[in-house]
Amino acid sequence: PGARAAPPPCPAAAVPQVTVRDALNQALDEELERDERVFLLGEEVAQYDGAYKISRGLWKKYGDKRIIDTPISEMGFTGIAVGAAMAGLRPVCEFMTFNFSMQAIDQVINSAAKTCYMSAGSIPVPIVFRGPNGASAGVAAQHSQCFAAWYGHCPGLKVVSPWSSEDAKGLLKASIRDDNPVVMLENELLYGVPFEMSEEAQSKDFVVPIGKAKIERQGTHVTLVSHSRPVGHCLEAAAVLAKEGVECEVINLRTIRPMDIEAVEASVVKTNHLVTVEGGWPQFGVGAEICARIMEGSAFNYLDAPAVRVTGADVPMPYAKILEDNCIPQVKDIIFAVKKTLNI
């Protein structure tokens, strides 16, 4: 009889995959357990386990005092949360979508963002406003706006915008521990997406520092700067362009305010080209701010071509799928912008 085939070599231990939804759930669970001043409130967060199941299991574990279902009144429950933060608690205030934060923007900006400054630092407001931001799928204009530029505009707020599960967990934990009001702009279409999550990121001590960007891919020909879901599109575009000999450096901003412009400058000095990518509108957008900051600094002297912005279309989001696709930056749009910048 023939000799038996040798067993296949043992694969290296696979890095576990965790969805963005579960990463956020982990972060909330760990911070609720760590600090009894932390509580979560919002529509359907408790008995229904959250509209997107981010708070799954937390009401059963922590009860009515820590996980609080609210009426459909953003202005009301945001005001309660801001007042609680001023009184020494650490609320996490969930908006079912950031479009509804417009109902409470007076509380977010005039009450939360400005109070620490106007009280000469004597009243900190340690609160996190979080929920899905930007376009989802088939939800039309009133549910598709990106608020990164709006909230990034306001002194007194910190604004974070995660892409991967590691971003989501680390930034949420850092935001809850921060003594300033933090706006955390998640993406609904990423909630169910699994990402590799290192052993370090699984630990209860893991935080992602606010204000630091991450280089997701090293490159030498062009810098792509993005945040939230478009980071994935940039990586896809970079993979396609690599086959044509173009090496893109992809920067995941992670934080909108304070912005890590040093990381972008260092990359531009290396690649001599800049393309910004975002799902929001072009006028006064995140990309516009990055371009202005690069132009004002020393890295401008290293640019070999004008910086290019890839943005959402300058229209309220249409409902029809084919129009929606044309309003959101796609991989092909990023590739086109890179080739235009490099003149190839």
Radius of gyration of the chain (CA): 21
Same fold, 18-202 and 214-342: yes
Torsion sign, CA atoms 212, 214, 219, 224: negative
CATH code, 214-342 = 3.40.50.920
Predicted confidence (pLDDT) per residue in 91-111, tens digit:
999 999 999 999 999 999 999
In what helix (H) or strand (E) does residue 173 lie, and over which residues does it extend?
A: helix 165-177
Q: Which of 30, 43, 94, 143 is catalytic?
A: 143
pLDDT, residue 15, reads: 85
CATH code of the domain occupying 18-202: 3.40.50.970
What gap in Å lies between CA 38 and CA 67, rounded to an integer?
10
pLDDT of residue 14: 78
Q: Which helix (H) or strand (E) holds 172?
A: helix 165-177
User: Among residues 31, 43, 74, 186, which one is catalytic?
Assistant: 74
247 is catalytic: no
pLDDT at residue 19, rounded to an integer: 97
Neighbours of 213 (CB within 10 A): 20
Determine the Cα–Cα distance for residues 209 and 213; give it in Å rounded to an integer.
9
Q: In the annotation, is 31 catalytic?
A: no
Measured over the CA atoms of residue 81, residue 83, residue 86 and residue 88, the dihedral's sign is: negative
Domain boundaries, the chain: 18-202, 214-342
Tens-binned pLDDT, residue by residue, of the chain (344 aa): 555 566 555 555 678 999 999 999 999 999 999 999 999 999 999 999 999 999 999 999 999 999 999 999 999 999 999 999 999 999 999 999 999 999 999 999 999 999 999 999 999 999 999 999 999 999 999 999 999 999 999 999 999 999 999 999 999 999 999 999 999 999 999 999 999 999 999 999 999 999 999 999 999 999 999 999 999 999 999 999 999 999 999 999 999 999 999 999 999 999 999 999 999 999 999 999 999 999 999 999 999 999 999 999 999 999 999 999 999 999 999 999 999 999 99
